[in-house]
Amino acid sequence: MKVLIADKFEKPGVEKMKTLGCQVTLDADLQGDSLRDAVRDTKCQILVVRSTKVTADILEAGKQAALELVIRAGAGVDTIDVPAATKHGIRVANCPGKNSVAVAELAVGLMLALDRRIVDNTVDLRRGVWNKKEYSKALGLKGRTLGVVGLGRIGYEIAVRAKAFDMKLLYSDVIDQKQYEKELGIRKVSMEQLLKESDVVTLHVPGGDKTKHLIGGAQLALMKPTAFLINCSRGGVVDEKALADAVKNGKLGGAGLDVYEVEPGANDKEFKDAVVQAGRIYGTHHIGASTEEAQLAVAEEAVRIVECTMKGQPVPNTVN
Ligand code: MLT
C-alpha cells in the first residue's frame, strides 16, 4: 500500500508502516498545489496529515488517482474538507484521545502562567527590570473555580489536574458525564452559570459552525473581571475581537490562547493576529498536542489505522 505523509511524523511510525509493507513517501513541506501533485503522482492510497490542509481540489485529484483514505494525525478534522472527501468516496479518519494529556498540560500551564503573570515577569527581567511589587498580586488557584466547557477527554484530563490544585470544578456539556461527576466531584451547570461563577474558563469543544463564536461579547460580559479564559480548542470558538476588547477594557483578567481564528499554514513564518497584542493575553503557537509523548501515541494510532486498512478490517475512527 502506498502512503504519503505530508507533515512532520514520528520516525517510529514511519518505520512501522514500512515493516507492514507500505511504500512510504514522507515530505513535510508539501502543501496546496505541491500536495495535490504529489497525491496524483505518488498514486498513494493513504494520505497522512497533521496541520497541512487537505482541500477539495487535492481530494478530487486523489480520487482520480488512487486515494482511499486520509488520516488526520490529531483529534480535529477541520483541516480536511470532509464533505468533499465524502463526495469522492474517500474515507477520513482521525486519532482522538491520543494527545489529550498534552493539551491538558498546556491549558494548565497557561492558567498558572496567567495567574502569576509568568510571561510578563520574564519579559521585565530580560529588560533588566525588577518589579516584585507589581507581580505580587496573584489570586492563586486553591479554592478558585474552574469551569470546563466540553467535558470530553481533554476536559477530563484538565479537571483531574485542577482537582490536585484544590480547585472547585464546574462543567457544561451537551451530555451528562455522570462517571466524571462521581470521580472528580465536578458539577454540571448551565453555560451561563459556569461563565458567571468561574475564575478560569477553559474551552474544549470541537471547532466548526456549531461552536463558531460560542464565546463572544455577551458571554465575556458574564464573566468575572478577574477571570481568565483559556482556549486550546479551535480559534473560531472565540470571537477574538470581543476578547481583545474585554481584556483591553479591564472586563476580563486575561486569556491564554493556543489557537486563533486564522492560523498560518504549516510552513508559513508570519503571524499578524492583533489579538496577541491586546495586553494580558498569553499566546502559544497551536502546540497543545506537540509533546513527544502525544506525537508518539498519535503516530501509533495512525499506524493502527493503516494496518487495519491493509488487512481489510473496518477502518477505525472514521468520521465520514
Ligand atoms: C488536534 O486536532 O489534535 C490538534 O490540533 C493537532 C495539532 O496540533 O496539529
| Per-residue model confidence as pLDDT tens digits over 136-162 | 999 999 999 999 999 999 999 999 999
pLDDT at 274: 86
Q: CA-CA distance, 191 to 195, in Å (whole number)?
A: 6
Q: Nearest Cα to 215, choosing from 104, 75, 109, 198?
A: 198
303 and 93 Cβ atoms separated by less than 8 Å = no
Whole-number average pLDDT of the chain: 96
267 and 293 Cβ atoms separated by less than 8 Å = no
Q: CA-CA distance, 111 to 107, in Å (whole number)?
A: 6
pLDDT at 267: 74
pLDDT at 83: 97
Query: Phi, psi (5° rounding) for residue 228?
Result: -115, 145
At residue 78, does pLDDT exceed 80?
A: yes
Share of the chain above pLDDT 90, in %: 94
pLDDT at 266: 72
Domains 2-95+292-310 and 100-283 alike in fold = yes
The domain 2-95+292-310 is classified under which CATH number: 3.20.20.300, 3.40.50.720, 3.20.20.10, 3.30.70.260?
Answer: 3.40.50.720
Catalytic residue among 50, 91, 204, 286: 286
Partner residues linked to 230 by β-bridges: 202, 256
Catalytic residue among 50, 91, 234, 301: 234
263 is catalytic: yes
pLDDT at 295: 95
* Tens digit of each residue's pLDDT (9 = 90 or more) over 10-39: 999 999 999 999 999 999 999 999 999 999
pLDDT at 4: 97
Partner residues linked to 137 by β-bridges: none
Distance 279 CA to ligand 1 centre (A): 26
Give rounded-to-5 percent helix, strand, coil for the chain: 40, 15, 45
CATH number of 100-283: 3.40.50.720
* Any ligand 1 atom below 6 A from CB of 75: yes
pLDDT at 264: 85
pLDDT at 313: 96
Distance 113 CA to ligand 1 centre (A): 22
Q: CA-CA distance, 187 to 174, in Å (whole number)?
A: 14
pLDDT at 252: 97
Distance 55 CA to ligand 1 centre (A): 17
Confidence of residue 199 (pLDDT cuts 50, 70, 90): very high
At residue 213, does pLDDT exceed 90?
A: yes
pLDDT at 279: 86
Share of the chain above pLDDT 70, in %: 100
Partner residues linked to 255 by β-bridges: 229, 281
pLDDT at 250: 96
Q: CA-CA distance, 11 to 17, in Å (whole number)?
A: 10
Which of 286, 295, 298 maximizes ligand 1 atoms within 8 Å of its Cβ, making it the mutation to test the pocket?
Answer: 286
* Tens digit of each residue's pLDDT (9 = 90 or more) over 221-233: 999 999 999 999 9
Distance 75 CA to ligand 1 centre (A): 6
* Tens digit of each residue's pLDDT (9 = 90 or more) over 235-275: 999 999 999 999 999 999 999 999 999 998 777 789 988 88
Handedness of CA 86, 234, 232, 118 (dihedral sign): positive
234 is catalytic: yes
pLDDT at 100: 97
Helix, strand, or coil (residue 319): coil
Domain boundaries, the chain: 2-95+292-310, 100-283
R_g of the chain computed on alpha carbons? 21
* Tens digit of each residue's pLDDT (9 = 90 or more) over 284-312: 999 999 999 999 999 999 999 999 999 99
**C-alpha grid cell, residue 136:** 505580587
181 is catalytic: no
Question: Which ligand 1 atom is the nearest neighbour of the CA of 234?
Answer: 5
Distance 211 CA to ligand 1 centre (A): 17
Catalytic residue among 68, 263, 300, 307: 263
